[in-house]
Each structure stands twice: as structure tokens, then as C-alpha cells.
Amino acid sequence: MISATYSLIDTHCHFNHEQLSSDIEELMTRANDAQVSKMIVVGFDMESSREAVRLASAYPALYASVGIHPHEACNFRNDHLAELEELATNANVVAIGEIGLDYHYDFASIEDQFQAFEAQIELANSLKLPIIVHCREAYTDTLSVVANLTPKNGGVMHCWAGNTDEALRSIELGLHIGFGGLITFKKTDEIQSAAKQVPMDRILLETDSPYMAPTPYRGKRNEPAYTKIVAERLAVLREQSILEIAEATTRNAYSVFERLKN
């Protein structure tokens, strides 16, 4: 059991998703019982970004990120940037995201995805905010965009599903690596290897709830309380104590998302 001296931060959850929105207070109570002290509610389109800000304004333990997911890039308009910028004036908004590229599905064309991704990195740079990057089966192109535009305030490659070389390249470009439930799954050797080798000062914890629930809850609804399961698995993989993992990842979260200190 984690000492009360330590806490965990879920750097990526979706209380703004219909699967979690009906029982937020119960979920937050369970998160608190699991030593999860703060959670970042991440937007994926305009409506969910607005809701993330509303929730972060209503609950002291919640913070927000605003952005348009690559699945929604087909609906991206330049005037969205103005609203995202306005939302980001809220002190509880800690990042721009989730943004990026997704080649697994074809909900939006690659051209539209690039346009939305690049525009939102530029917005983040102008606002001096980090980015939260969604990348699925698109590591080469994603890292190329990041290298070309250089996020000035860093960010995180969320829900890491790549190999060690890709993780180290992401770190070279100034990003952190967000590990979630995938490191508890069987047949994720490359991801677990990355979790062992990424420098400890570049690791963040996340759930991506309601998605990607860790073992033994795989296939069920994920929730921020399960951040503790991810931390425990990371401790086993790295042969460190849970206290060391908690202390380091919480410190890292404060480093990346400076507005968490508010």
C-alpha cells in the first residue's frame, strides 16, 4: 500500500466521456482511495474540450487538456483554434491535446490529420503549453511532425504502444512517455521493454479511461483508480519500489504540466 506521503497522477482520463460522466464522484472517491490525487481530463473534440474545462473548474482534483483528436480531424476548422485558445486561458487547462495521427482507422484523411496536428502544435507553442500526442500505427510520421515543429514546452506521447527505439527518439524530441494498461497485458513485450528502458525522469502514468483497462479488468470499463495498477506493474518491470515509482512519476507530471501546481 502506498504511503499517504506519496500520490499518483493520472495524466490522461476521459471523465468527459459518456461512459464515465454519470458517476464521476464515485469514480473520484475510488481514485482518492487508490492514492490518485490529481487527474487530467483530456479533450478529443470541441464539445469534450469544453466539458473538460467545465469539470476541471468544478472539481479541485481535476485539470483539463483541450484539443481535437485525429479521428475528428475531418471536422477541424481554423476557427476552432480561436476557441481552443480561449478555453486555454482557464488556469486549469494544462495542455493542448489530445492531438496527433492515427493510421489504424480511416475516420479522417491523412491530409486532414496532418493539418489539424500541425496547427495545434503551433497553437500550443504560442500558448507556451505542452502537447498530449495520440499516435497509433503512425510513429514515423508523428515523430517527423514533432521534429519539424519542435513543441517548445514538451509534452507526452500518450498510451505508449511503440518500441524502445521509438520511445527514445520521442524523448530526444523533448517528449515524455505515458504508460497505461498496455504494460499489464500479455504479448506486449516491446511495450514492456520500453517501460524498462525509458529513463525514469521521462515516464508518466495514465489510464486513458474508460478505455484500455489493465489486467485483471481488461475488457471492462477503465477508471482513474487503476493508475495504481499501472504503477505497481511498472515497479515490477523496473525492479523498483512502488514508492519510487509514485514519487518519480508525480514529479515528472508536475514538470511537464506546470499548471498542475496551481
pLDDT in tens, 232-246: 999 999 999 999 999
pLDDT in tens, 69-91: 999 999 999 899 999 999 999 99
pLDDT at 262: 54
pLDDT at 88: 98
| Radius of gyration, CA atoms only, the chain | 17
Tell me if residue 98 falls in helix, strand or coil.
strand
* Residue 219 in grid coordinates: 475488457
Q: 105-140: buried (b, 16+ CB within 10 Å) or exposed (e) per residue?
A: eeebeeebbbebbebbbebbbebebbbbbbbbebbe
Name which of 179, 139, 190, 181 is nearest 156 in CA terms: 179
pLDDT at 6: 83
What stretches in the chain show pLDDT beneath 70?
Answer: 1-4, 262
Tell me if residue 131 falls in helix, strand or coil.
strand
pLDDT at 185: 98
pLDDT at 5: 72
* Residue 183 in grid coordinates: 504494460
CA distances for 182 relative to 9, 176, 231, angstroms: 17, 17, 12
Residue 214 DSSP class: P
Environment class of 163 (CB within 10 Å of its CB; exposed 0-12, middle 13-18, buried 19+)? middle
Ordered domains of the chain (ranges, CATH): 8-261 (3.20.20.140)
Name which of 174, 235, 226 is nearest 200 in CA terms: 235
| Residue located via cell numbers 493508475 | 227
pLDDT at 170: 98
State the Cα–Cα distance between residues 162 and 172, nearest whole angstrom. Answer: 15
Q: In the chain, what percentage of residues exceed pLDDT 90?
A: 96
